[in-house]
Amino acid sequence: MTKLTSRRWAIIFFISLALNVFLGGLIVADKYFKGHRGPGFRGTVYSMPWARRVLGDEVRPMMRQLFRERREGFRGNRRARAELFNNVSAALAKEPFDQAELRRALGALQANMQTGQTAMNDMMAEFSGKLTSDQRKQLVQAVAKWQERRRARFERRRQRRLERQKENQPAK
């Protein structure tokens, strides 16, 4: 058996300490900063994935069927959107810059996004038509909670902003 010297113990201790601090930071970040990942990570209200989170797995088979029926339309829309993003990038990079061309590219991109949003709304309407009255009430209650949390968050941010403005005003 090899004898561990105090220097080796010190190295092992500091590596263990660093690893524990790193893992603790990850756990704290996950617990307290989940909402700060940006809007892409938050669920869209009145969407089918949001409805499944609210209602549970009992509605999953119905959702899957609706998604399967519309899969090709969504894929085509996504492919077209990728090309439209490339068109916007090309219009931005073009020399000499043509403002009218950029506006046309952005307009086409907006129309594509609107088409996708309309398709998702139609799918949510069909999905909601297949739900029971109690399930629809659950969705309404979830939206009310969401609105209340959002209002409270807005008010906290407004208060912090006002406090910072007071602190940063020069004394007269």
For the chain, the domains span 42-140
Helices 60-93 and 48-55, packing angle to 10 deg: 140
Phi and psi at 137, nearest 5°, equal -65, -35
**Residue type, position 151, single letter:** R
pLDDT at 15: 94
Q: What end-to-end distance do the CA atoms of the chain give, in Å?
A: 75
List pLDDT tens digits, range 15-43.
999 999 999 988 888 777 765 555 544 56
Classify residue 109 by its DSSP letter: H
Mean pLDDT of 76-93: 93
Query: What pLDDT, in 10s, does the model give residues 110-145?
Result: 999 999 999 989 999 999 999 999 999 999 999 999
pTM for the full predicted model: 0.62
Q: Which residue reads 């969705």 in tokens?
A: 139
Give Cβ neighbours of residue 49 (< 8 Å, ≥ 6 apart).
43
Q: Pinpoint the alpha helices (H) of the chain.
A: 6-32, 48-55, 60-93, 99-129, 133-168
Please report the sign of the dihedral spanned by the C-alpha atoms of residue 165, residue 167, residue 36, residue 149.
Answer: negative
